[in-house]
Amino acid sequence: MQEMFSTIKSIEIPSWLSTQWIIVMYCKPQEPEDSTSSLAMSSIYDLAFGIEIELSVLASKKYSTWSAVAKDISARLSKKGLRNQVCDQPSHHYRVWSIVQEVTIPSQPAKNKWALELVSPIFTLSSTWLADLETIFTEVGRAFKIEESPQCSTHIHVSRLDGRDFTPAQLRSLAQAALLYEPYIDILMPPGRTSALSSSSSSSSYWCRSNRQSPVLAAVASAAVTGAHPSPSSSSSSFSSHSPGSPLAACLDLLDAAAPPARHPDDSDHRGAVAAIVETMCLFPASSAYGRAHGRKRDFVHGKVYKWNLERLLGDHADVPRTIEFRQPPGSTTAEDAIGWGVLTLSFVAGAMASGSGRAPLVPRGEEASLFEFWEHLHRGADVLGLDPFLTEYLRSFVNRTMPVY
């Protein structure tokens, strides 16, 4: 695997290659019998997704253990026909809902407050995900008060339904869009989960810091400000002197270099390009407290601390889905919250892939995108996905809660 160094003096830029691609997505007219039965009839670029919901709940009756809480919730969901299991870790097959203990959020048995995570099966847009979420929040809400907590979050995983990997070009487009539209996604978030506080030591922001803080992107952005940055045309460049430019443009250029339109690569070229994009977005400093505690000598991929976690795309285990994970959304206390974050994430990912580039078409080089362009990006994704008009309007209303799109 080609390496990228985080020092200001030198960054190695491998000769990354990628394939061109075409994307076709659609919503199926009939619901499958369960959340995974559509796997056999997916189109080439249809999307699958999963939702992880962290909850902090206050029980209305006394429970002696977390296991008793989980079993009660499991029984309530089973009674409503929702297949689920209580387990330490979800099965990698993700066929049913899993109720697991959320170790990053402490339970307080003396106060009858408990923390748990519900991990969904693999969904498609035409599966039962809307009804499932409504059932979960309704049934949990009957016996518990679902509390707002800055420690809770909602994670959305996205993959290709056909089981194939995302291409380097698709990942490049998504990575560029994540950087370009980050200011507008931040507006949708509570203060503790925005870029302004993502470098703090608070437990909530630690797990969703900006990808711009990765050593590679931070170095490139800093060099752009001072006028020293590498030429993306070089396969192994040191920083050279240029006129000071836009840090954002420099980061987007680096991602362009990671997956340029080129020849048809073999498997090793594909893996190398994917690894380069993942490292660019998700490297973590060896000098961090975590790195020192684990004896790291060099910067390493640690995607679970970033808003956009691409680490699973490097997985060598065939039984573990290779997903893109959006980790920034806060905890969901209603089905409407969870649905909103799901539709937003799918539309954002699809919008990036449909554009062929994460750069907004109307944005001059080096400038920030506008609110209009952000909404156009989401709307393009909704169109490509073939969202039902109800869900497109739902997306508009969800975004409108914090920013007017018209």
pLDDT at residue 353, as a whole number: 87
Tokens standing for 95? 């066929």
3-state helix, strand, coil in the chain (%, to 5): 40, 15, 45
* CATH code 3.30.70 for 48-152: yes
Model confidence at 361, pLDDT cuts 50, 70, 90, reads low
Instruction: Tell me the pLDDT tens digit for each residue of 100-158.
Output: 998 888 899 999 999 999 999 999 999 999 999 999 999 999 999 999 999 999 999 99
Whole-angstrom Cα distance, residue 186 to residue 336? 19
- What residue type is 235 in one-letter code? S
Residue whose C-alpha is closest to residue 19's, from 345, 265, 237: 265
202: Cβ contacts below 8 Å, ≥ 6 apart: 150, 192
How many Å separate Cα 179 from the centre of its chain? Answer: 13
Query: Mean pLDDT across the stretch 382-399?
Result: 93
Q: What is the DSSP letter of 80?
A: T
Q: What is the DSSP letter of 236?
A: S
Whole-angstrom Cα distance, residue 335 to residue 333? 7
pLDDT at residue 406, as a whole number: 60
Q: What is the DSSP letter of 370?
A: P
Residue whose C-alpha is closest to residue 23's, from 44, 40, 7: 44
- What residue type is 315 in one-letter code? G
Residue whose C-alpha is closest to residue 185's, from 167, 211, 204, 207: 211
Domain with CATH 3.30.70 in the chain: 48-152
Q: Which residues pair with 44 in a beta bridge?
A: none
Whole-angstrom Cα distance, residue 386 to residue 339? 16
Instruction: Tell me the pLDDT tens digit for each residue of 2-43.
Output: 333 233 233 333 332 232 221 222 223 333 334 444 444 444
Query: Would you say residue 96 has pLDDT above 50?
Result: yes
Instruction: Tell me the pLDDT tens digit for each residue of 229-256.
Output: 554 443 333 444 444 578 999 999 999 8
